[in-house]
Amino acid sequence: MLTFYFSPGSSSMATHIALHETGAPFEARPLTLQQGTRTPDFLKVNPNGKVPTLVVDGTTLTEVAGTLFYLARAFPQAGLMPMSPLGEAEAVAWMSFVASTIHTAVPQGPERVAEVWRIAEQKLRGREYCVGGRYSIADIHLFRLYWRFRERFGLKPEDHPSVHAHYDRMMQRPAVKKTIEAEAKVSS
């Protein structure tokens, strides 16, 4: 059994989408970022006090990339990981780019945010999905940040047509819709 600790709308949304994509049974444990992740009970599970946290048979996995990689490998029937070593490396490279470049741009200011989305646009141009023309965990990771940042930073479809088309495709996926609905219920 998988136990999934998350906070609605946070980075854990990517793991939540992947869980729904795999169809794996899991127990959802919603937390608030400000208080819930700092409770003594949760800090026993994840001393870093961050989500996503995925507990798999007593082993605690953290960080978006780690949880996504696990789900893609543990549930290969979901098709979330490219099958070739090069495809896997490309997926990991995209997830690293999302985590270390896009996600960290926010504290650097709006100019840096605009710059990293221009880079993402360039990387995605001419592609339906991030890696090899097939949906993967890299797409889930990229989507989550665009979903979160597009309104906050005024990211316009005309400035990022490939990224926005990717966003539109992702919004049509049943797992994305299910995750957004589930997280909205927890938030209200």
* Backbone angles phi and psi of 163, in degrees to 5: -65, -40
* Backbone angles phi and psi of 127, in degrees to 5: -120, 145
At residue 177, the pLDDT reads 97
Per-residue pLDDT of 117-137, as tens digits, reads 999 999 999 999 999 889 999
For the full predicted model, state whether its pTM sits above 0.85. yes
Closest CA to 95 of 150, 149, 148, 143: 143
- Mean pLDDT for all residues in the chain: 94
At residue 188, the pLDDT reads 58
Does the domain formed by 2-77+175-187 have CATH 3.40.30.10? Answer: yes
Residue-range domain boundaries for the chain: 2-77+175-187, 80-173
HSE value, Cβ hemisphere, 13 Å, CA-based, for 5:
26
| CATH number of the 80-173 domain | 1.20.1050.10
- Written as one letter, the residue type at 6 is F
Per-residue pLDDT of 165-176, as tens digits, reads 999 999 999 999
Burial of 25 per CB tally in 10 Å (0-12, 13-18, 19+): exposed
